Each structure stands twice: as C-alpha cells, then as structure tokens.
Structure 1
Amino acid sequence: MCYSAQIEADYKKYMKMFGAAMSLREFAELYWEHGGRELKAPMAMEAAFSDATTDDERRIQALIAESNALRTTKLEQELFKQRTRLADAERTLATKATKAATESKRIASDKIDSAARRLTDLKRTTLKDSDSRIYPGWYAPVMIVQGGRRIVVPMRYRCRLPGWTEQTEREKPGTYNARRDSLKRVWGKLFGYSHGIMIVNRFYENVDQNGRNVVLQFDPAPPQQMLVACLWSRTSIPGEPDLWSFAAITDEPPPEVAAAGHDRCIVPIKPENVDAWLNPSPSDLAAQYAILDDRERPFYEHRLAA
C-alpha cells in the first residue's frame, strides 16, 4: 500500500501541464469548513496561493492566513500548557523521583518539541521536499474531468465509498488505496465512473526488515513526475460542504519493489492515456484495465527514508 507520497502540491502546475482549471469553490470551502480546526494539508499546497493574482485566489489566500492564525494561537496555548506541566513535573522530581512525574516530564517535553516545530513551520517561507508529502487523511490536489473540462480539486487521501457513513469509514480505514484486483468488486461504483490523476514524485512504504519495521523511500529512475491513477468520490453531507475523497490504485509490484520487501505499488499511467483515463466508460472497463496495464514502468530505487 502507498501509505505516503511526495506529490506535486501546486495546483498551478496542473494548470500549466494539462490546461486544467482550479476548482476555486472547493479550495475555499475546504478552509472555510475547517475554520481553524486541524486541517491536514501539505504546506506546499497552501504556499501555491502566496502569490495570488485574482480576487478568487486572494480570497483563498486570506482564508489560509486566517486558518494559520488560529492554528498559531492553538499551538501557543499548547506550548504554555505543556511548559506548565513540565515545570510542575520538574518541581516534583526535585524532591522525589516518581514514575508519574517522570512520565509527565517526558510527555510534556515531547509535546513542547512537536508544537515548537509546527510553529516554526507555520512561519517558514522556504519550502522543503517534506512540505509536499501526504499521508492517509491528508488533502491533495487531484485532477478530474467535470462538465467536459479538466479541473483540480482538493481531495482527502482516503476515499469514502458511495453509500458509506463516517462510521463505516472508521471501521474500514484502508481505503486510501484501491487494489487493481478488486476494482470491479469493491470499487465498482467508482471504477469506470470517477477517475482522477495525482502527480507523484516519490512514494514511501512501511517494510519489515528482520522483524523491524522501517520506512523506505522509493524514487523513480530517472527522476520523473508520475501520473498516478486514482478513483474519487464526492459525498453530500447535510449542512456541510461536500466531502471530496480519493484513493490511489495499486497493483503487484515490479521486481525491485518486491525485492525491497513490499507487495504493492502505485500505477503511473502514460501521458497519452490521461484523457481516456479521465473520461471512462462503465460499459468498456476493458479499455480502463488496458490503460492500467499499459503503464509507465520506471525502475524504483530505494533507501531508508530520512
């Protein structure tokens, strides 16, 4: 399963590469809906609006700034709370070493470090590679076709299948990937109907090595942007903005990925097949399978993730 990926998070790159339009409403609603609540989105996706040139882009830029201001306040409050907890634990330990105080000191120190790092990231203006990395539950730009035109929509990387409730989703949290061998059975309401593309530069996997879990980073060689085949869903929620969510299709791994210890791999389709993939016909699933089979096949170099 592709548990994490470094993506192309700048919607403008999709516009330049594919002539796609940004779905301004969905970007705006995403930040309006969360209203300062924790929104898991790569920093690079938000940074794409830093040089806004239109009124709509400036509106989204303002919503992002407002969201970040609320995040900053919450992190500062968390820092104060944990520093107080740390001081209390240290006073206790100065007179008597207790297990509870030792544990409280450890937890407070870890939370202080985490909050301080997140505050630093909110204030940082120079992007790093990790600022384009997503995990299940995070939002990412996905290109789809609606009304005969290509658009880019921010979607959550964990798909809520049609008919599912939030409770169903919690019981089946693995739907950030869609196995090729279950597309007709599990994903039949989306395969042949709702196809998308996510641009991926590299991906990461949890792998068992001698009984120890490690995270490996897989890079295509030569370096390239992979057009990963996705399925997506739009769920109507009464009284709230619609939930857009997606899954990346995975298949049996190439030999080098299998040799590294992983049994799945994302499916990068060829540029010449993008249009056919984004405009599927449910009456011709064979054509969709053919696109997945006629994929790009880069060699994946791997190393331990930093």
Structure 2
Amino acid sequence: MCYSAQIRADYTKLVREYGAVMSLDEFAQLYAHDAGKQRPKTPKAMDDGFAGARTPAGQDIVAKIQQWHAEEMQTLDDELRTQGARLKAAEDALAHRPTQKARNEVRIAGNRIERARARLEDLHRTSLLPRDSRIFPGVYAPVIVSEQGQRVIKPMRYQCRLAGKPARNDALYPGTYNARRDSLEAYWKNAFGHTHGVVVVQSFYEHVPRHAMEHRSLHAGEKAENVVLEFRSEPPRDLLIACLWSEWEGPDGRLLSFAAISDEPPVEVAAAGHDRCIVPIRPENLDAWLNPDPSDLAGLYRILDDREPVHLEYAESA
C-alpha cells in the first residue's frame, strides 16, 4: 500500500508536458471560504503553484490561499502566546518545587511551541523543499482526468470516498487511498471502467518490516520494526500512477477524491520486503486509461499489465 508519495505539482509543466488544462473552477471551490469549512489539507507545493498567476481566476485563487494562510498564522501566533505562558508557568513551578507534572508541562509546551514555529516558517518560506510536494491520505493532489476527450487537472483528496457511500467510511475503511487490483470489480466496480485518472509522482513511500527488508526472520524475542522506504526510479523520471476517482455529494457538501491502484510488486519492491505496489502506466496508454470503455474491462487490465518499464531503487527515508 502506497501510504505517501511525492507528487508533481508544477502546474506549468503538467500543462505543457501532458497537454492538460487547469480546472480553475475546481481549485477555486477547494480553496473557497464557506461557512464552517475547515482549511483543506494541501501540500505547500500545490498552494505555491499558483504564485505569479496572471489571470483574474488564478489571482482569485491566490487571494483565497493567502486568506487561509493569514488565518492559520493568526492561530499559530495565538498558540505561541498560550504555550509560551504555559511554559513559563511550568518553569516557575519547577524552580519552586520539581514535580513530574511540571516537567510534563515543560515538555508539552516546548513541543507545541516548536511545532508552531516550524509551521510558521513553512508558511513564510518561498523556496520549496522536497517535502513540500509530499502527500499522505487525506491530503489533496492535482489529478489528471478526461472530460469530453480533453485532459483536465483537478484537485482531489488522496483517499477515495465512492459516490453513494457514507462519509463514515473514511474512518471505517482508512485504506481506501489504494484500490487493490483484485477488488476492482468488487468494491471499486462503480469507478473501475468509468472514472479513471492519473497522478504524476516522482517517488513513493512504503512501510516495510525491517527484518523483511534485511531478508531474515525475527530473532528470538525480537519485536517487528517498521521502516519507511522511499522508492524512486533510476534514472529519475515522472511516473503516471493509475488511479480511480469519484465525485461524492452529501450533507457535508461535495468531495472529489481518488485512490491509486495497487498490484503485485515488481522485483525491486518485492526484494525490499513489500508485497504491493502502485502501478505506473505507459504515456502512450494515457488517453485509453483516462477514457475507459466499461464494456472492455479486459482492455483496461491489459493497460495495467503493460506497465511503464522503470527501474526502482530504494533508500531508508529520514
């Protein structure tokens, strides 16, 4: 299961290299400040991709993003003041009488101050770091789909809530950010053959048992330990990851979301100790994948079998 990936969020390159157009209306809806709406979880690279927008629609999205940032900065400033006072009170208590409670207060306040400062630094930072393009379940990413034969880029949440399913399924089935190939005609039948997309990634991450990565059994009394491995193609290149997506509507509003299809792993991923892998499709199969024929599921399976020939290397993630 691919629990995280480093996406391509450079809109100019996505448009130029993949012949797609931006669905600015969808991005505007995502960043809109509706009553009671929480700030959408978006990677910094996705937000900053609109910097320098020249069209009125693009500039409106920038203004919406800046409004979210301003509100978050105010919340973080309030948090710093609150936790600063908490830290001082705990340090004064420790100086008067050392107790475990006071030590815990110092630790908790210090950790929260550190997190708030780090987030403020990220919001102010203009240069991008690799982690700014990384997505996790629940985070939005730009997904390429097809509308009337035109490739379109839309923002979607990485964890698919199928149309007609209750919102509580997000918690009941947290693994729905990946769609297993062996369940495409079962749980995913209303999306497979109907609503396909791709997300462009540069690397992806997997949790792998350390003993499996080291090709050994657990020692007597040893507890299993997970490590995070980053898989990246060598030489570096973009990967078009096959996805299913859905448009959900309910009492909570409207949601566009997607899942990456996972299948048996290639040799390099299996050798690293992992038993599943997302599926990179060939660029020449992109339009056939984005415009599926529901009466020819066998043809869609052939696209998944005809994977982009890439060599994956891995390293333990910091």
Give TM-score scaled by structure 1 length.
0.96
Q: 8 Å contact 2:163–2:249 — kept in the other structure?
A: no
1:135-284 equivalences under 5 Å are 135-210=136-211, 211-238=224-251, 240=253, 242-284=254-296
- The letter for the 1-side match of 2:247 is R
Q: Residue 202 of structure 1 aligns to a residue in which SS? A: strand
Question: Is contact 2:15-2:21 (8 Å) kept?
Answer: yes
Query: What are the superposed Cα offsets for residues 24-46 of structure 1, whole Å, 9 maximum, x if unpaired?
Result: 11101111146783431111111
Aligned to 2:221: none
Contact preservation (8 Å) 1:196, 1:229: yes
Q: Corresponding residue for 2:27?
A: 27
Which residue type is aligned with residue 32 of structure 2? W
CA distance in 2, matches of 1:187, 1:172: 13
Query: d(CA) in 2 for partners of 1:160 and 1:14?
Result: 25
Q: Which 5+ residue runs of structure 1 have no aligned equivalent?
A: none
- Point out the more displaced range, 12-21 or 200-209: 12-21
Partner deviation per Cα, 1:106-141 (whole Å, 9 max, x = no partner): 111111111100000000001111111100000000
Q: Given the alignment of the two structures, is residue 298 of structure 1 paired with residue 310 of structure 2, yes or no?
A: yes
RMSD over aligned Cα atoms: 1.4
Name structure 2 gaps, 5 residues minimum: 212-223
- Give the match's secondary structure for 2:153: strand
Provide TM-score, normalisation by structure 2.
0.93
Quick check: 1:3 aligned with 2:3? yes
What is the correspondence of 1:17-166 to structure 2 with a 5 Å cutoff? 17-33=17-33, 37-166=38-167
Q: 2: distance between equivalents of 1:245 and 1:11?
A: 19
**Relative to 1, partners in 2 of residues 1:254 and 1:239: Cα closer, same or farther, differing over 3 Å?**
closer
In the alignment, the residues of structure 1 paired with residue 39 and residue 205 of structure 2 have an alpha-carbon distance, to the nearest angstrom, of 24
Alpha-carbon distance in 1 for matches of 2:155, 2:279: 20
Aligned pairs, how many?
305
Structure 1: distance between partners of 2:40 and 2:284: 35
Superposition deviation, residue 85 in structure 1: 1.3
Q: Deviations over 1:248-270 (max 9, x none)?
A: 01111112211212111110000
Kept in 2: contact 1:37–1:71 (CA 8 A)? no
Q: Distance in 1 between matches of 2:34 and 2:206?
A: 29
| Partner-residue secondary structure (3-state), 1:236 | strand
Give 1:101 shift. 1.6
